[in-house]
Amino acid sequence: MAKFTNVLLIGATGFIGSAVLEAFERDSGFNLTLLQRASSKSRLPSHLKVITIADSYPMEELTAAFKGQDVVVNCMTTLSVGDQFRMVDAAIAAGVQRYVPSEYGLNNMNPAAQSLNSVFEEKGKVQAYLRAKAEQGQIEWMSITCGIWLKWGAAHDFAGMHVQEQRFVFWDDGTGYFSCTTEENTVAGLVQALKIPEETKNTNVFLSDFAITQKQLLDAIERVQGVKYKTETVSSENFIEEKRAAASQGDVLATIALVETGFVTGKYGGHVGEGGHRHEQTAWASRAHA
Ligand SMILES: NC(=O)c1ccc[n+]([C@@H]2O[C@H](COP(=O)([O-])OP(=O)(O)OC[C@H]3O[C@@H](n4cnc5c(N)ncnc54)[C@H](OP(=O)(O)O)[C@@H]3O)[C@@H](O)[C@H]2O)c1
Ligand SMILES: *[C@@H]1O[C@H](CO)[C@@H](O)[C@H](O)[C@H]1NC(C)=O
């Protein structure tokens, strides 16, 4: 049976990338190398192997960096995920066995998600590209679908949470279910999934610690903090129309608002336990900690 040893991580200085780095570091079974952009300001621990690459991730530099790696794990930032077509090509050219795209969200193969915003569309197209290459036997892939990270969401005014202002925005009646997985369980799940290569080959690994609604989320926040939040309601239909128009004019915040909409309404593959995947091979894991 295949066993992965050499792993290259892209985006190790980022939010989830730094947690993925720690998870690999706790696990002595992997030989980790990090790929960092030349302009990156963050320092990485000096005992780690770091390859520096030009910010535009040129094909030749990618291919050289990927040589000898069994797995490429990508944790690059949301708005750059379209750079990955070239990274997949480079991984194939370098003979990498498995590519893990920067996803970590909802089911980006959901057509409604892909038509909602450019981020879900690019992530979905990258996964479709990987699926096609895998069918030709050129590379294998594995993608992590984990719903929302609530800690990240609370820190970034996401999912309707505006914690500093004690304000909460509901999409419609706030009763759509969406999946949540902690950051810790997501990264543990990722590392564990790479230790069972056959089961997780060419698979969208669905992680969900629990599913909740916005109403339940606000109840929990108010209970824990012992305060009442100001609430507002937006109509999904109007909101989507407005943000789509703004996004088409290059408004990046509107794109992010459409990403938020995709998650919190639970209607775009954000509730990972809900239908739609039965036609394909899927791996399920809840409670990634063994
Ligand atoms: N499920 C959720 O709730 C949730 C929440 C947030 C994000 N996500 C997803 O998780 C993945 C990683 O997101 P993240 O928030 O962890 O990423 P991030 O912290 O914003 O960035 C991760 C890394 O991307 C690299 N990078 C590559 N091109 C870049 C550019 N043009 N500008 C800035 N950084 C660039 C940087 O690494 P170097 O500096 O080392 O080169 C950076 O540290 C994305 O797919 C995102 O959509 C999911
Ligand atoms: C670990 O990775 C480095 C390159 O990143 C490589 O030079 C070295 O041979 C690898 N070690 C093993 C045991 O494969």
Ligand 1, residue 41: give the atom nearest the CA. 39
Q: Using CA atoms, how far apart are residues 189 and 192, in angstroms rounded to an integer?
A: 5
Ligand 2 lined by 31 (C-beta under 6 Å): yes
* 3-class DSSP assignment, residue 161: strand
Give residue 274's pLDDT. 63
* 3-class DSSP assignment, residue 274: coil
Mean pLDDT on 150-176: 97
Ligand 2 lined by 5 (C-beta under 6 Å): yes
Ligand 1 lined by 138 (C-beta under 6 Å): no
CA angle (214, 250, 104) in 5-degree steps: 45
The pLDDT tens digits for 175-202 are 999 999 999 999 999 999 999 999 999 9
Q: Is the pLDDT confidence value at 5 over 80?
A: yes
First vs last C-alpha separation in the chain: 22
Give residue 93's pLDDT. 98
Q: How confident is the model at residue 1 (pLDDT cuts 50, 70, 90)?
A: low
Q: How far is the CA of 80 from the centre of ligand 1 (A)?
A: 8
Kindly tell me the sign of the dihedral angle through the C-alpha atoms of 80, 85, 90, 91.
positive
Q: Which of 43, 75, 123, 208 to mutate to test the pocket of ligand 1 (most atoms within 8 A of CB)?
A: 75
Q: How confident is the model at residue 70 (pLDDT cuts 50, 70, 90)?
A: very high
Give residue 92's pLDDT. 98
The count of C-alpha atoms lying within 13 angstroms of the C-alpha of 23, restricted to the half-sphere facing its C-beta, is 24
Decide if 53 contacts 65 (C-beta within 8 A): yes
Residue 220: partners with Cβ closer than 8 Å, 6 or more residues away: 212
Nearest to 127 by CA among 119, 190, 13, 259: 119
Q: Is the pLDDT confidence value at 290 over 50?
A: no
Q: Using CA atoms, how far apart are residues 54 and 37, in angstroms rounded to an integer?
A: 6
Q: Is the pLDDT confidence value at 19 over 70?
A: yes
Give residue 269's pLDDT. 87
Task: Give the pTM.
Answer: 0.94
The pLDDT tens digits for 200-236 are 999 999 999 999 999 999 999 999 999 999 999 999 9
